[in-house]
């Protein structure tokens, strides 16, 4: 294991240069420098609530107004923030080299926005992420599952919360809460990409939440290596061949830019 520095960057770049396929797994830390708060650590509280208390179907059933208040605020944040140097470096690499699959646990849409920028008039699809925890930029009916474009949410009372145009059920953000299944097709594609990759680049995740945290193990199983970029130690650090300690917005461009 290597704890970074210039030598760590050089070793990581060598792994990336010779990899036929690369899978990237990102978490909240990749968006921190865009101004999107992370879940755990000093930023990890919203009011007095932990993510484990709000991001559940039980919390939504008990107090949908409270849960929507949190998501409405976060939706506004996601829409007003911009992709940072890490999102842009990943997207440019994925578009230019077509040997990278980006898997994100984030729901903020910033990888997709960077993909569109990187592609210019071209095709952004090689840089569009597999969003394993859904998107805060879509709504879904909690009764009939119909997906819809996001509406402006007035979370001041239960009566003003958005409702489904088909069945009048309460709308919810189209994200994956604790105890809910991830979309099998999205997770399957992420697993397959990890199992075909020579390098799994893990950026800004505490790697505590499963099954997303298991994705790097698919690369390890087939003999590939994990390279981690994080400001702190994570649950995955012991498995990393190269551990680059620092901010994603500074390190990722140094890893991927020509
Ligand atoms: C920087 C930085 C900078 C900062 N640069 N770095 C196996 C074992 C045990 C439990 C389970 C298991 N399998 C399933 C479970 C249950 C559960 C689970 O994992 N629990 C664990 C917590 C123990 N999983 C589930 O329930 C999942 N569903 C499921 O498995 O269904 C089947 C099933 C059900 C029931 C029982 C058993 C099986 C669903 C999980 C859904 C998680 N959803 C959330 C909310 C999404 C919507 C929303 O955004 O609101 O996803 S929770 C939240 O955590 C969000 C994130 O995507 C996820 C991960 O967080 P992330 O990204 O790692 O953020 P942080 O804040 O934790 O870390 C940030 C990192 O960045 C830190 O390391 C910093 O150091 C670093 N950093 N600035 C680089 N500038
Ligand atoms: Zn409905």
Residues 163-182 pLDDT 10s: 999 999 999 999 999 999 99
- Mean pLDDT for 176-192 is 98
Residue 44 is predicted with a pLDDT of: 79
Mean pLDDT for the stretch of residues 190-194: 98
pLDDT digits (tens, 9 = 90+) for 206-240: 999 999 999 999 999 999 999 999 999 999 999 99
- Residue of higher predicted confidence among 4 and 98: 98
Confidence of residue 33 (pLDDT cuts 50, 70, 90): very high
The answer to whether the CB of 231 is under 6 A from ligand 1 is yes
pTM: 0.97
Pocket perturbation via mutation, ligand 1, pick of 34, 174, 204, 252 by most ligand atoms within 8 A of CB: 204
Q: Identify the bridge partners of residue 25 per DSSP, sorted by sequence position.
A: 103, 202
**Catalytic residue list contains 87:** no
CA of 37, nearest ligand number: 1
Q: Is the pLDDT confidence value at 3 over 70?
A: no
Q: Is 87 touching ligand 1 by the criterion CB < 6 Å?
A: no
Percent of the chain at pLDDT > 90 equals: 94
**Cα 177 to ligand 1 centre (Å):** 9
Predicted confidence at residue 185, as pLDDT, reads 98
Tokens of 81: 């923030």
Strands 147-148, 134-141: parallel, antiparallel or unpaired by DSSP? antiparallel
Is the pLDDT at 4 greater than 80? The verdict is no
For the stretch 132-160, pLDDT in tens is 999 999 999 999 999 999 999 999 999 99
In the reported structure, the alpha carbon of residue 236 is separated from the centroid of ligand 1 by a whole-number distance in angstroms of 13
CA distance 222 to 61: 42
User: What pLDDT shows up at residue 13?
Assistant: 98
Q: For residue 258, what pLDDT is reported?
A: 86
Task: Describe the strand order of the beta sheet including 225-230 as a list of residue ranges.
Answer: 130-131, 100-104, 22-26, 199-203, 225-230, 242-245
Average pLDDT of every residue of the chain: 96
Per-residue DSSP letter, 112: H
Give the Cβ contact number of residue 50 at 10 Å.
12
Beta-strand relationship, 134-141 and 171-175: antiparallel
Check residue 46 and give its pLDDT: 85
Helix-strand-coil split of the chain, %, nearest 5: 40, 20, 40
- Mean pLDDT, rounded, for 77-98: 98
Q: Mutation test of ligand 1: which of 37, 39, 130, 140 has the most ligand atoms closer than 8 Å to its C-beta? A: 39
Taking the CA of residue 173 as reference, the ligand 1 atom at the shortest distance is: 47
**Ligand 1 centroid vs 215 CA: distance in angstroms?**
12
pLDDT of residue 43: 73
């Amino acid at each position: 294991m290597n704890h970074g520095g210039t030598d760590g960057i050089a070793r990581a770049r060598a792994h990336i240069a010779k990899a036929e396929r690369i899978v990237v797994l990102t978490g909240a830390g990749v968006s921190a420098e865009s101004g999107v708060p992370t879940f755990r650590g000093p930023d990890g509280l919203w009011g007095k609530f932990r993510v484990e208390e709000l991001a559940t179907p039980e919390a939504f059933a008990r107090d949908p107004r409270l849960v929507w208040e949190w998501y409405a605020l976060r939706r506004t944040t996601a829409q007003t923030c911009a992709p940072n140097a890490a999102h842009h470096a990943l997207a440019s690499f994925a578009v230019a080299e077509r040997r990278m699959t980006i898997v994100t646990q984030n729901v903020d849409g910033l990888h997709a926005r960077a993909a569109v920028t990187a592609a210019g008039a071209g095709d952004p699809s090689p840089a569009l992420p597999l969003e394993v925890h859904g998107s805060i930029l879509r709504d879904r009916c909690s009764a009939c599952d119909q997906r819809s474009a996001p509406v402006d949410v007035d979370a001041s009372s239960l009566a003003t919360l958005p409702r489904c145009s088909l069945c009048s059920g309460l709308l919810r953000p189209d994200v994956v809460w604790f105890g809910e299944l991830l979309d099998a097709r999205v997770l399957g594609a992420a697993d397959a990409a990890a199992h075909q990759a020579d390098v799994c680049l893990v950026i800004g995740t505490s790697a505590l939440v499963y099954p997303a945290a298991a994705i790097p193990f698919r690369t390890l199983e087939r003999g590939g290596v994990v390279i981690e970029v994080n400001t702190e130690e994570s649950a995955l650090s012991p498995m990393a061949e190269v551990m680059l300690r620092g901010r994603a917005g500074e390190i990722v461009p140094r890893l991927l830019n020509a």
